[in-house]
Chain A
Amino acid sequence: KQEVTQIPAALSVPEGENLVLNCSFTDSAIYNLQWFRQDPGKGLTSLLLIQSSQREQTSGRLNASLDKSSGRSTLYIAASQPGDSATYLCAVPYSGAGSYQLTFGKGTKLSVIP
């Protein structure tokens, strides 16, 4: 059974700092890994999808890396802004018998202090 862990559970940084969020998973046989952002009481916004064959994926100030062999992914946020404050979740898909479901970590709650 796939398990996904995100450390730390919460992180507070001053504005302008670069930061790294961590995600680890137990079963390295994954298709991809997806990073999401969630604002309080809202749905999930997809940030990046990184395929199993990729090492990195970039979107603006965000960079996600994937190391399947070690079961790890990191989300790097450059020059953090107060608007980046949210909970960040990583998820990996399980596909059995043609179905599809995501297994999520518990998330990292990020606070960027002006």
Chain B
Amino acid sequence: KAGVTQTPRYLIKTRGQQVTLSCSPISGHRSVSWYQQTPGQGLQFLFEYFSETQRNKGNFPGRFSGRQFSNSRSEMNVSTLELGDSALYLCASMDGVNLNTEAFFGQGTRLTVV
């Protein structure tokens, strides 16, 4: 079956702009989580969506937001970009009902803010 698809793979944006990233989970999975990966901080949890509802949110400013659609596809948005937002953004797909199952990740979106 198809894996987790993230688009775009690469983005270059200017400080102050906003950006939208997309994640399509594995068919049948209803949970999508987002993570930010930087060399200094490693992987940090942003938020998790299940059936169009945000179930949990990490410790990030309000400039980071997300949503999930009825087909389970998710988008995350970062407004007023800062240089420190440059990172690899990864999404994870899970069943979401049975929490004791495997998480599958996409290839990530590399965001560079200049």
Contacts and interface: CB of A to CB of B under 8 A. Distances in A.
Contact of A42 (B35, B50, B104, B108): B108
B114 interface: no
Contact of A36 (B88, B105, B106): B105
Interface string A30-55: 01101010000111111001010000
Interface residues of A, number: 28
B90 A44 contact: yes
A71 to B, nearest CB: 18
Nearest 8 pairs of A and B residues by beta carbon = A99-B56, A99-B55, A44-B105, A43-B107, A104-B43, A101-B45, A31-B100, A43-B108
B45 A32 contact: no
Interface residues of B, number: 29
B48 A100 contact: yes
Interface string B95-108: 01001111111111
B109 to A, nearest CB: 10
Contact of A43 (B31, B94, B96, B105): B105
A97 B55 contact: yes
Given A99-B56, A100-B56, A101-B48, A106 B42 contact: yes
B107 A95 contact: no
Contacts of B50: 99
A98 interface: yes
Contacts of A105: 42
Given A100-B33, A100-B99, A101-B33, A41 B104 contact: no
Given A43-B105, A97-B56, A101-B58, A31 B33 contact: no
Contact of A89 (B43, B45, B58): B43
A104 B105 CA distance: 13
